[in-house]
A and B are shown apart, each in its own frame.
Chain A
Amino acid sequence: MPSGRSATRWLILTFAILSITSLVRIQGQSGANTAAAPRPPAVAHRPSAPQPAAARVVRTTIAAPDAAALAKQRALIDKYCVTCHNARLKTANFSLEGADLGTIGDNAETWEKVVRKLRAGVMPPPDIPRPALGDYDALRDFLEAELDRHAAGHRNPGAVVLHRLNRIEYANAIRDLLDLEVDVTALLPPDDAAHGFDNIAGSLTISPTLLESYTSAAARVSRMAVGYWKTPTEATYLASSDASQNMHLDGLPLGTRGGIKSRHDFPADGEYRFEIQNFGIGSFIPGQKLEILVDGERAHLFDYKGVGLSVGMTSDGDGTLTAVVPVKAGSHVVAATFVQDNFRPSLDMIRQYDRKSLENNSIPQIEYYPAIGFLRISGPFNPQRPEDSRSRRKIFSCKPSPTLAEETCARQIMSTLARRAYRRPVTASDVSTLMTFYADGRKTGGTFEDGIELGLRRLLASPQFLVRVEREPPNAAPGQPFRITDLELASRLSFFLWSSIPDDQLISLGAQGRLSNPVVLEQQVKRMLADRKSAAMVNNFAQQLLYLRNLKATSPDGVYYPSWDDELRQAYQKEAELFFESIMREDRSVLDLLTADYTFVNERLARQYGIPNIYGSHFRRVTLPPELDYRRGLLGKGAFLSVTWTQNFRTSPVKRGVWVLENILGTPPPEPPPNVPPLEDTKEEGKILTLREQMTLHRRAPTCAGCHKIMDPIGFALDNLDADGKYRAKQGGEGGVPIDAKVDLFDGQHVDGPSGLRNALLRYSPQFTRMFVEKMLTYATGRGMEYTDMPTIRAITSAAARDQNRFSAIVMAVVKSDQFQMRVKGDDGSRNTTN
């Protein structure tokens, strides 16, 4: 594209001028330490603009330290570190004895480990003397400055290997390409995660089995989108076994109670059979009615006669209710629910607990209302090719007519789809390949649609759709950093912020070579964050960051936690998602994740938290009153408190401590060694011990003490919050032992209870931001961060700090980093460390 290239040249000139002026401005701001920004090493490939300083993450050069400064830091290390980390003891396999402070940059891997520990304040360990806070910080800053000084001369953006679409990205791509929601778990196997995320390129391996899945997925998806299912299919939606169904479900019509709701794709116009089975075993409610809804409209109404288990199994059947309903093709929200006519939620009934499930049998006075066990949908019967559906509207950008030949129209449709799916302008060869399949399908199937279906199937099986690659400039030398192309940047952006393919606008900007223009880039990032599709930052990035995917498997024992049920689990998940989303959408400081004084609740959650006057199933924002101060930030949220459950019947101070170390302080502790004696063995004659007393005895073992001294106090400070997220003053109920939440933290701070802990951790808020940046950069690039990436992570963190750590500032700085926009030639992923 000659026109694109000359435009680029023009832009280079403009930005060269811009960059000089803004560099001057930045220097003025950052003070005496900042010299001129280093000239990056020669960048190959696209001779892209040296960008304005405001638009890329600035690395500052710092003068080499003088001998006196070195001696001072040396003395500090000798006094406080080398006592354990010396050549003889090699505590934790690590010695700093005689380490040369003049060549810190040459041993960056080692020193980055030191810096990380210092940033989180976890070294020296508790009970070992520490330098004064000022000296401590100065040592850390000195080390970081040295590391960054060295890195400034050795630009290393790293490289990511070819990137297969993972299961979530595939589903999102299908949604954006074809306006079709698919249940991807039935189409593709799960992906192997690494470094905390399931979008790590190196871990997304390729195997025959996987390609088989992609090939059969292509057949199914194209049929669902364009064709129609001529033969009946079936899907079953099961209700979670600990779902209560006693209350109204969010998203169902008011005046209904419980039930089950799911999105279902109907592959043709036709009749579908709905089967519902009841699970309730308790009271039969006379006159009860049950309805089937399609997109919120009643499709069928049953007289509910107390079938199934509520009247015992009979020879008449197992209580399945069946109805045949005509449905139009497409994706619809289907539901089955009880009409709440003569049954009120049990506010005025004798009913102590929320949970429904069977292990509560031993608890008296519990009631079981009829509940829906599963909804099964089969069909279509008498199928008709759908005349209209969301997918068809999206795909058929033209229709053959007397004035438009079928082949011309097909060519247009295939080209449009291929451009989106391949994420670049199409070539003649792309289109001719697809048209061969169109022609084949047109011939064997007999209709225009059959042709499009087969063409689409071929497209979805293409490696150009399934794999993201970034090409190397042929003239680059090994080890040389180079910019990725603007089209490659478009894909990086969309997979980062949307977990999906780029839209037409991004592809156009990429094709025109305009996307890397900092002004355009900034506009696009803002646009993308504002787009609905950025919900992927919540339900993909945040879900993994905060371990929300583990909530599914979180299930404290019903005997100890009779209020735990699926509604609560879902409420916790929703609360955490809404909370994270509010930080993102309102562009707040990410530190608000630790401190924000608001949360989101529905009736169920409000009851758990003790917030009055909240009715109904929908979530709303509430400001936390002073007496609920401990609910502020992530540490007060049920999702965090319950996902760290253990052993079914108690809290796990250790797991909570680990979570805080990993997700707030960015220094995950080692896993416990095997052969740990069980806690219940820890006893003292004639005395009932609190969990804390037990654990204190337990960790007297010297092998355990090192880490537990750091982890446990964090967890103990949170022990007022039970494993189901409820506040408690005592362990063991009303007659139990009072909780002692006073602790001395690893850095010597005295803390009392959850609020105190939260405030004490704020000392490490820069480390929290850095950890957040590290995880986001991992997720954004799709590779694990290495010590060579730390200078960039620090630079992004500082850039964000200058902008109040706002969410968008971090995203913007990540996008502008070398790590995101460049690669290094020769780092081909064949490197493998051995043990």
Chain B
Amino acid sequence: MFVSKKFIPRRTFLRGAGITLALPFLESMVPALTPLRLSAAAPVRRFVGIWHPHGAAPGYWSPTKEGRDFEFSFITKPLEPFRNRTVLISGLDMPEAFATDEEPGGDHARGAVLLSGARPRRNAVSPYLGVTVDQLIAQKYGQDTILSSLQLGVEDSGNYGNCNWGYSCAYTNSISWVSPTQPLPTQVNPRVVFERLFGDGSSTEERRNGRKQNASILDSVTKELAGFKNNLGEGDKARLDTYVDNVRELERRIKIAMDSSLQEPTGDVPFGLPESKHVHFRLMYDLMALAFEGDITRAATFMLGRDLSGSSFPESGFTGGWHGSSHHGDKPDNVMNYSKINRYHVQNLAYFVDKLSKIPDGDGTVLDHILIYKGSNMGNSHRHAHEKVPVVLVGGIDGTFKGNRHLVFPDNTQRTSNMLVSLLHLYGIDQWLDDKGKAMTGKLGSSTGRLEPLEMV
């Protein structure tokens, strides 16, 4: 695990009696960051999609009242300081995530539905889903940033097994898909993320030189690929076309990075996988904030765990494992315990939101321009219900998104894929290409329309 840095990281954490204390090292980096473009004339829009497995504790998630006068529920309470930027939605379904009668329990491997609104394809030679909203937003707003998007997680998939019923593990390993056939890998190592953001090398000179060499290597690779396609099957030719596109895109981004005046932050850098989940969550949120602050990217996704994760979160006040506790049997005590885990994850989100609200960005803060969607592919996880999934939206999308609302939809009337279409609309995106490269207006995955109340300003 070798990583080049211009200094030796000092002590980054103290190891105590089973507790790992993170020093607030990322704060020290902030002064050195020089955002690429902070002009009010060019407002930027950003997006973060956060997925968590295992739904939310029934009775503890939905606020009691509808509309502007809602009261934060136990789980969502930590967001209260950001009331004006927050929309909570109750009553949405995620029908694409259901398991059929032939695949009971298979619905654990459906995280990828969150941002695609599409149903994973079974027994496909290669995984096949749909483009995700973070990628559509990145395509529109992130063409000129060093990175198109970031995909973060905290649990390495180091996977095994079938992921059940002939479904590829891609549907559970990745919630960000750049096309129906291209899941983007999730990065769990904070150190590696840091290097993606700031490059590899010990000085501006060295970093620049490294990028120049990469650009020339990729240019040469593109030429090599041209002759590589001879006598391949049609499917493999198409795969190589994707390869070529990816190489060109990478080359383009490297050239952007070469032209950028971004300074590497000074101070300690994260050095690998933290042992404490708590530290890990905070670090990943810090890195995302850093990426937005430096305008290194416009879109990110974050997986708070893997499906069936047994992680426990002592900081939540409850020590049970995640998946185990999510099968609470609808018993009051168990449900209450489970709600603590849910609330804990909202607390971390609030930490992130607070951070963003303090980072200047053009005429306002990063929070003003961003939208964060945190959700799950399950509602009542004990029943594996995909109805009434928890939806948290926080941000402003540059003035087009209105907070301070609790939207409630009657049972079995609305689906999250319609919400995704409306979100895209708020970003000014109404048309995209379907999997055959044909222009598609207003339909994403299995959406049936839009979620109009969300679009009200």
List A residues at the B interface (Cβ < 8 Å).
Answer: 93, 159, 161-162, 183, 185-186, 189-196, 198, 202-203, 205-213, 215-216, 218-220, 224, 229-236, 238, 241, 265, 267, 273, 277, 279, 281, 309, 313, 318, 320, 358, 373-374, 376, 378, 429, 433, 436-437, 440, 444, 454, 457-458, 461-464, 467, 469, 471-474, 544, 547, 549-550, 552-553, 647-648, 668, 670-678, 681, 783-784, 825-835
Contacts and interface: CB of A to CB of B under 8 A. Distances in A.
Nearest to A429: B227
Contact of A830 (B202, B234, B324, B384): B234
A831 B125 contact: yes
A190 B173 contact: yes
A677 B329 contact: yes
B238 interface: yes
Interface stretch (B217-225, B343-351, B395-403, B412-420): B217-225
Contacts of A210: 184-185, 246
B383 interface: yes
B151 interface: yes
A99 B216 CA distance: 63
Contacts of A828: 233-236, 238
Given A433-B220, A832-B128, A212 B250 contact: yes
B232 interface: yes
A215 B218 contact: yes
Interface residues of B, number: 111
Interface stretch (B28-36, B77-85, B155-163, B360-368): B155-163
B159 A202 contact: no
Nearest to B227: A429
B213 A678 contact: no
B16 to A, nearest CB: 7
A73 B112 CA distance: 46
Contacts of A670: 103-105
17 contacts: A93-B101, A162-B236, A190-B158, A192-B183, A198-B160, A202-B126, A211-B247, A219-B200, A220-B2, A235-B2, A429-B227, A464-B224, A471-B231, A828-B235, A830-B125, A830-B234, A830-B235
Which of B100, B126, B156, B249 neighbours the largest number of chain A CB atoms within 10 Å of its CB? B126
A328 B382 CA distance: 57
Contacts of A373: 15
Interface in B93-131: 100-108, 119, 121-128
Contacts of A830: 125, 234-235, 238
B438 interface: no
Nearest to A359: B18
B122 A835 contact: yes
Contacts of A458: 217, 220
Contact of A208 (B126, B206, B233, B246): B246
B183 A232 contact: no
B47 to A, nearest CB: 17
B170 interface: yes
A234 B194 CA distance: 14
Max count, chain A CB within 10 A of own CB: residue among B7, B148, B181: B181
Contact of B125 (A161, A209, A211, A231): A161
Interface string B148-176: 10010000111111111110111001100
A783 B124 CA distance: 11
B182 A309 contact: no
Contacts of A834: 121-122
B228 A469 contact: yes
Given A194-B169, A454-B213, A209 B383 contact: no
A207 B149 CA distance: 12
A832 B121 contact: yes
A208 B161 contact: no
Contact of B232 (A462, A471, A835): A471
Contacts of A675: 382-384
Given A186-B189, A198-B159, A232-B8, A208 B213 contact: no
Contacts of A213: 185
Given A229-B4, A671-B103, A471 B246 contact: no
B441 interface: no
Interface centre among A241, A552, A831, by most chain B C-beta atoms within 10 angstroms, is: A831
A340 to B, nearest CB: 24
A235 B1 contact: yes
A784 B227 CA distance: 30
B148 to A, nearest CB: 7
B456 interface: no
Contacts of B217: 215, 218, 437, 457-458, 461
B160 A549 contact: yes
Contact of A474 (B102, B169, B216, B231): B231
Contacts of B231: 471-474
Contact of B182 (A207, A440, A544, A784): A207
A236 B271 contact: yes
A610 B7 CA distance: 52
B329 A553 contact: no
Contact of B236 (A161, A378, A550): A161
Given A211-B247, A358-B18, A829 B236 contact: yes
A219 B126 CA distance: 29
Closest 5 CB pairs of A and B: A671-B105, A828-B235, A674-B384, A189-B185, A231-B202
A552 to B, nearest CB: 7
A802 to B, nearest CB: 31
A211 B246 contact: yes
B125 A832 contact: yes
B168 A192 contact: yes
A136 B420 CA distance: 54
B224 A463 contact: yes
Contact of A205 (B102, B126, B232): B126
A561 to B, nearest CB: 15
Interface string B374-411: 00000000111100000000000000000000000000
B266 interface: no
Nearest to B324: A647
A235 B227 CA distance: 40
A71 B174 CA distance: 52
B124 A833 contact: yes
Given A186-B192, A231-B202, A219 B159 contact: no
Contact of B3 (A207, A233, A454): A233
A804 to B, nearest CB: 30
Contacts of B253: 208
A674 B220 contact: no
Contacts of B18: 241, 358
Contacts of A193: 159-163, 168-169
Contacts of A676: 327
Contact of B105 (A224, A241, A674): A674
Given A193-B160, A208-B250, A544-B160, A437 B220 contact: yes
Contacts of B121: 832-835
Contact of B104 (A672, A829, A832): A672
B186 interface: yes
Given A471-B230, A472-B232, A672-B104, A230 B202 contact: yes
Contacts of B243: 206, 211, 463, 467
Nearest to B177: A207
B303 to A, nearest CB: 13
A549 B156 CA distance: 12
Contacts of A440: 216
Contacts of B448: none
Contacts of A474: 231
Interface in B251-302: 253, 271-272, 275
Q: Which of B18, B161, B271 has the most CB of A within 10 A?
A: B161
A194 B228 contact: no
A423 to B, nearest CB: 14
Nearest to B239: A162
B214 interface: yes
Contact of B8 (A234, A318, A454): A234
Contacts of B4: 229, 231, 233
Nearest to B329: A678
